[in-house]
Structure 1
């Protein structure tokens, strides 16, 4: 990645950002994302135990604020599954007022992390962890669409059966085919938007001319999706320690989960566009978005990798498309509900399946035997934890696994070449890093009882990396001292801010 491109996104002015921008592509990309956000937001509402309108309005508020203050132009923020899962238990046990309070506190925590510029630690996330995250998230997105293959019945939601399922699957495949091949006909309209429009026309035609009804957004929501402007609201909560004890755990976990997903989404979009966003600025934007959202009665959210990919692939590159998406969503909620309610779920499933195809790192299936086993283990672990637990836990586990694997590998590289000199002394020509991961191996390199009276440690090709390494050397110095043998050192370099307890000559 060139330095010029990094600067172009990271520190550019609004005038620079919108210079040579294709406004039509930005607007159409925003429209496409707005349509794709609808079923996702409705589904997240069911997960969290809130009304669909509340989730849709959350997407509007978070989307607008994050787009204005974003550190990664082109990235989409909304209500998300990750936050919904965290907040569901709070809503069930304490109700909406505590949810709003937790979202406000969540925003403040994220703001603090951004102001302290802790986003730099995101660079510690290894690439195998990124691959595991993307693969796991792809599978989560894929399986989350299964709910759209069910019907509302008196006994709950049940799978579509027989011919109806075959028709739905055929229309999903048709949507995917349109998205894949439509750009070969014209690039004037984003292929995802074209797929949604064509499938909506097919659904309306089938309904009017044959009486065959495809499941729509309205059917999925169980209500006509129509609402108004989000309104400012102060949560009615007692301001005391007991309230803080209730909401803090949820706010803290949701804040970390949200920022983890936002930072990883930022890195994915960076790679897709060959540009560089500002991590700390994006964290502040996410915090502001959730803070404002809490005061407008929202359920909290973060960046959405699926919709961000749709936006970028549809031509969205600036904050304009990210701003248009929530604004158009708001207009749909207020004035275009009749259009929203007609969109067949098959079209939206097809769009998301194409996101899955584009997000999953297929090349990772061929890595066996080509990359270190520890990287494959870390990647698979992150994928599994992302699917069965949550993103933040998966990333933390992946980083820990990668760090331990690195420490083990570097620890096994500590070695010594033994040279018997003409004057009767013995030289240990050391190599590798001496630190907590290698101290046991380091001690096994020497044979004090069999060594001559004068021993030389040659550190020219070795480095002492931490206090554990210093202590390991001290232990050897003391052992040779007890045996009455003289120990010399050569080119000893200690990279920690300490010194040996007993200096060697």
Structure 2
């Protein structure tokens, strides 16, 4: 191994939980106090959100709490981020609701369990690094699409509507059913929802450090209980929430059931991996720390296994709660673990009080969440940035809203990839008539310009290819090489500004060299990097068909000397 070869990180470096790192640094009473305060603050935020997300997902509120308690504890204890808070997330509402509608709650638990196994496998295979390649317009588009779906799914409870049948899942039929049910509007429920939204907005404006969600929901619950308001509550719809965790149990792992739920599990794993790593990146940007992405994915996988065993829904890193944790002064992962224990204490001691919470209040909470999720400013910027980015954004957004979340992500990713390849292909240039001046030795970085008029000898054609030379640009480069009007007696191709090449590029150079050989014109290649030259050799561009020289001026000098008939016998093995 040379000194410049990158050392492959050891397993322990990649998968040691941040909890071990923090405790190894020395954990004192002051750190515990800071983590306890932050954990309590996050628990106050997570309590209404976990129940609201579960209800919007088509399951009972206790399943959201189980996910936050069990999954949240495991994410913090085993994760690769100091400040990550795990739990149910609004981004999963669409997928979870669709899975429950198609396969029932048991199917949801199995899909959550399988997604945990998938995330563990992805992390152990060290694939977490590649999730960052999801194009930014795709993440903004699907986040905005999810926000629209969450908002439309809450209108029934926001307005206290009574539907004549089950609420449709797809957006257009859902909106049609809601419009048809408008005559059943419950003014009291609508007033509670509006009051919650207004109070949360006011508290964020004037008292941003107060727990606005909890205050608004608690006041709504007190009003509903004392005034006997005619609105639906957690108690009337679900009978309250249990006062203990259920016993762990494995889901049905029969092959047929696994095959049926595997597509949903893959969707859960994909979205969970993206959300958790985005959340970890947000925490890093706020603190200057660095998370371990593959360790984080393994922890998310274990957390989903644990949540499924206790009957909870999907778990992922939650950006809002993680940011709250950081702003509350957390020192490390203990804060996230304590947040889960505080939620467990609520179930054990105060679960009966949840029965009085109006569903309209929780719908108001989710309406605020959806509004904040939409990333409206980023959406507007991408629409103006370029036509390509706008297309990727809109396709992702519209498919998520009107078709399917997975289809939206895949289509957006495919379009984004094609857009990237097109831009990369456009960046590759073929320059001819490179001047033969002393500065050519410094030209190998590809930064100097050139003046074709300075080319001194028309019998030797000089080309410089610059940029990533890959299949998207191979056709363009090949056409440029073939468009030479006259037939030079020798060709020199400078590859010093080509950082990488693929098989298509190598094949195009080899094909050009063979055509030049038939015309009796030798081909010299200068400045090729070792990896590029190896690929050219593999595809047949090797001596004596092609002669390699380290710098451009050497190749041109030798070509001219060869044409003059006084060149020394070339070393066809090439230099370097």
Q: TM-score range by the shorter chain?
A: 0.7 to 0.9
Match of 2:125 in 1: 116
After superposition, give the CA deviation of every residue in 1:223-274 in whole Å (9 maximum; x if it has no partner): 2223422202244555xx5454344444334333322332233233333444
The 8 Å contact of residues 18 and 318 in structure 1, kept in 2 or not, is answered as no
**Using a 3 Å threshold, how does the CA distance of structure 1 residues 39 and 196 change in structure 2: closer, same or farther?**
same
CA distance in 1, matches of 2:364, 2:163: 27
Structure 1 position 256 matched with structure 2 position 293: no
Q: CA deviation at 1:167?
A: 5.7
TM-score (norm 1): 0.81
Structure 1 position 438 matched with structure 2 position 451: no
The 8 Å contact of residues 463 and 495 in structure 1, kept in 2 or not, is answered as no
TM-score (norm 2): 0.72
After superposition, give the CA deviation of every residue in 1:10-69 in whole Å (9 maximum; x if it has no partner): 97323659665533243122222123211212222x1xxx55444543443222222322
Structure 1 position 177 matched with structure 2 position 190: no
The 8 Å contact of residues 207 and 213 in structure 1, kept in 2 or not, is answered as no
The 8 Å contact of residues 37 and 307 in structure 1, kept in 2 or not, is answered as no
Alignment of 1:417-456 (within 5 A): 417-419=431-433, 421-422=456-457, 424-446=459-481, 447-448=483-484, 450-456=486-492
**Using a 3 Å threshold, how does the CA distance of structure 1 residues 223 and 127 change in structure 2: closer, same or farther?**
same
RMSD: 3.7
Match of 1:146 in 2: 155
Q: CA deviation at 1:163?
A: 4.4
After superposition, give the CA deviation of every residue in 1:377-420 in whole Å (9 maximum; x if it has no partner): 33344444444455555444444333322221221233333325
Q: Among 61, 71, 85, which residue is 2:80 paired with?
A: 71
**Using a 3 Å threshold, how does the CA distance of structure 1 residues 305 and 213 change in structure 2: closer, same or farther?**
farther
Q: Among 525, 529, 538, which residue is 1:489 paired with?
A: 525
The 8 Å contact of residues 120 and 297 in structure 2, kept in 1 or not, is answered as yes
**Using a 3 Å threshold, how does the CA distance of structure 1 residues 316 and 471 change in structure 2: closer, same or farther?**
same
SS of corresponding position for 2:248: coil
Max Rg structure: 2
**Using a 3 Å threshold, how does the CA distance of structure 1 residues 172 and 98 change in structure 2: closer, same or farther?**
closer
CA distance in 1, matches of 2:248, 2:130: 35
CA distance in 1, matches of 2:522, 2:514: 11
The 8 Å contact of residues 33 and 310 in structure 1, kept in 2 or not, is answered as no
Match of 1:161 in 2: 185
Match of 1:3 in 2: none
After superposition, give the CA deviation of every residue in 1:136-174 in whole Å (9 maximum; x if it has no partner): 444444444434314374845755737433564244212
Q: CA deviation at 1:437?
A: 0.9
Deviates more, 1:106-115 or 1:446-455: 446-455
After superposition, give the CA deviation of every residue in 1:436-484 in whole Å (9 maximum; x if it has no partner): 1111111221325622323332334345511111011111112222333
Q: Among 209, 217, 222, which residue is 1:204 paired with?
A: 222
CA distance in 1, matches of 2:278, 2:461: 52
Q: CA deviation at 1:286?
A: 1.3
CA distance in 2, matches of 1:214, 1:316: 38
Q: Among 37, 50, 60, which residue is 2:50 paired with?
A: 37
The 8 Å contact of residues 120 and 298 in structure 2, kept in 1 or not, is answered as yes
CA distance in 2, matches of 1:107, 1:56: 18
**Using a 3 Å threshold, how does the CA distance of structure 1 residues 379 and 84 change in structure 2: closer, same or farther?**
closer
Alignment of 1:215-364 (within 5 A): 215-219=232-236, 221-235=237-251, 238=254, 241-309=255-323, 311-312=325-326, 318-345=332-359, 347-364=361-378
Deviates more, 1:96-105 or 1:26-35: 96-105
CA distance in 2, matches of 1:243, 1:478: 58
**Using a 3 Å threshold, how does the CA distance of structure 1 residues 287 and 128 change in structure 2: closer, same or farther?**
same
SS of corresponding position for 2:246: coil
Structure 1 position 26 matched with structure 2 position 39: yes
CA distance in 2, matches of 1:91, 1:203: 28
The 8 Å contact of residues 123 and 295 in structure 2, kept in 1 or not, is answered as yes
Deviates more, 1:354-363 or 1:33-42: 354-363
Q: CA deviation at 1:276?
A: 2.8
The higher-RCO structure (CA 8 Å, 6+ apart) is: 1
Q: Among 485, 500, 506, which residue is 1:470 paired with?
A: 506
The 8 Å contact of residues 88 and 316 in structure 2, kept in 1 or not, is answered as yes
CA distance in 2, matches of 1:17, 1:371: 47
Deviates more, 1:428-437 or 1:132-141: 132-141
Deviates more, 1:332-341 or 1:387-396: 387-396
The 8 Å contact of residues 192 and 361 in structure 2, kept in 1 or not, is answered as no
The 8 Å contact of residues 82 and 390 in structure 1, kept in 2 or not, is answered as no
SS of corresponding position for 2:465: strand
CA distance in 2, matches of 1:349, 1:87: 17
**Using a 3 Å threshold, how does the CA distance of structure 1 residues 72 and 348 change in structure 2: closer, same or farther?**
farther
**Using a 3 Å threshold, how does the CA distance of structure 1 residues 386 and 310 change in structure 2: closer, same or farther?**
farther
CA distance in 1, matches of 2:148, 2:497: 46
**Using a 3 Å threshold, how does the CA distance of structure 1 residues 101 and 314 change in structure 2: closer, same or farther?**
same
Deviates more, 1:452-461 or 1:345-354: 345-354
Match of 2:441 in 1: none
**Using a 3 Å threshold, how does the CA distance of structure 1 residues 309 and 463 change in structure 2: closer, same or farther?**
closer
Deviates more, 1:409-418 or 1:166-175: 166-175
Q: CA deviation at 1:433?
A: 3.0
Deviates more, 1:378-387 or 1:476-485: 378-387
The 8 Å contact of residues 426 and 456 in structure 1, kept in 2 or not, is answered as yes
Q: Which runs of 5+ in 2 are unaligned?
A: 1-15, 168-180, 434-454, 548-576
**Using a 3 Å threshold, how does the CA distance of structure 1 residues 276 and 377 change in structure 2: closer, same or farther?**
farther
